Amino acid sequence: MSRAFVKEADNDWLGDVEPKLEELERYLARENGGLAISLLRNYTDPESGRTIYEMSNGESYMVDEDNRWRVV
């Protein structure tokens, strides 16, 4: 996926956010003009065994094998 779709500023990338839910929520709030984005639900992906986080912004995220957030 192109980083252009997950970039806020020249040095602020989704993949650079610490792999903690609180940090993802903070990043997403900044991306949405300060509006709080929260977890709707989470579940385990049967293929990868990783946790998928469905957020109130309509996107789902997971921490990949490189320990970085990515959009699912």
Query: What are the b/e assignments for 38-65, b being 16+ CB within 10 Å?
Result: eeeeeeeeeeeeeeebebeeeebbbbee
Q: Is the pLDDT assigned to residue 50 strictly greater than 80?
A: yes
Percent of the chain with pLDDT over 90: 82
Q: How confident is the model at residue 12 (pLDDT cuts 50, 70, 90)?
A: confident
Who's near 15: CB < 8 A, 6+ residues apart? 3, 6, 68, 69, 70
Locate the domains of the chain by residue range. Answer: 3-71
Q: What is the average per-residue pLDDT within 22-51? A: 95
Can you give the pTM of this predicted structure? 0.81
Q: How far apart are CA 59 and CA 11, in angstroms?
A: 22
Percent of the chain with pLDDT over 70: 85
